[in-house]
Structure 1
Amino acid sequence: MNRPWDKIFFETQSLPGMEAMRECKNCGILPEHGNFSAVTSSKGYKHPNYCIPCVRIQRSKKDHKYDTSERRALTTAMRLERQPWEKVHNYISGVYSKVDYDRADFDKHMESLFESWMTWENNGRGDGHWQIEHKIPRAFFGPHMKEPYDFCEQFQKTWCLENLRPLDAQLNNSKSAKVYLPEGIEDESFLIDCTLEEFKTHVKNWNP
């Protein structure tokens, strides 16, 4: 209570020129001492306007209106409408039915590229974890994909085992969606125009 009117207010629940024991503007109940919310007026005084229960109700309505989970769901839905290929990209399990390898093949491929500290238990986010890296990023091929993905070369290039490897999570995140070109390739358009087999040959033993 650094300001003098704060002390007066908390002792008397009123201020000079202000009606004592002001009622809650919402429910009309006379709040008990300490059971009110306050706002700062243009003069700097704190006037009790709403009792705390009413304030909580108002805030809960506001929080629901701007609920982050709802906004996140809406944003995700809009993004997926523009980029439907992300529905499949988000989970490796959704890819197996559309490529020529299964989970066992995928596991064997990744394990063959594990560094000494990598295990399936530390696959994830943050320091000391690793993630699946697409040497040529998913975002690069995404706009060129069309269903059915089983027969879409750009989808097959994205998810072919030759384009996947385990990589330190922080390093993977730092690379973001930047496109690095394999040795001997000077134009990104080649990655789109080449055949799947040509693509595999260029990226198989290449580590950007």
Structure 2
Amino acid sequence: MAANIVAEITAHLNARHLHPTATWLQTFTSSIRANTPLQALKQTALFRICSTDITQSLSQPAETLFPKDILSGTSQSRYLAGPIICQVLDIEDIGHSRWSQVEAIEAKERGETTKGREIVRVVEGEDGQPEQPTVDSKGPFKLLLQDAKGVKVYAFDLNGTSELNMNISMGVKLMLRNCEVRRGVVMLEPGGVRSLGGKIEALDKAWKDGRKDRLMTAAKAAQS
């Protein structure tokens, strides 16, 4: 593989604030076919690296990582200029009761949420009041984020960031800019979050397969 091709791919990823490890670059370049157009190689490289665990595939400069002391509760408020590169490990809809979310999942399993059909089902919320299940929730959401060094931080999306919803894949890569951190929790705002796409296949499957059970367990625990 010509050195200039490797340099072009590296520059393409660096321009998106993704800094691949030498091992990842070697593995990627050894797997591509000769005579593949450069633009196609760049797109493939971006797709593949966004489908990896960034704790294994990226070697990020300090300014693109969460600060080492981000979890310290001594600072009431601080701002992260970014860009911070991270991946989503979990997302929770905190705008609707867990029981209503379970009901929505079960309705979907029965095929009752197909396009063109309106299903109105009233279930009991965690506070004992009736609540309709949600399908396409607008949040707010609570997320668990992880940077390339493995630092995990909780984040809240309280104002409806367009890049975030309950249909995102686990392992999707995000770029954060100008985010406030309140006592170790990142506050996500519209305009400060950009999705780079991707997912971690095994993580995404396990998260989706286990979501209903997690919701039911948490809902029962809250009522006990």
Report the TM range for the smaller structure's normalisation: under 0.3
Give the number of the structure whose alpha-carbon radius of gyration is greater.
1
Query: Could you say which structure has the greater relative contact order, defined with CA pairs below 8 angstroms and 6 or more residues apart?
Result: 2
Q: TM-score, normalised by structure 1?
A: 0.22
Name the one with the larger strand percent: 2
Q: TM-score, normalised by structure 2?
A: 0.21
Name the one with the larger helix percent: 1
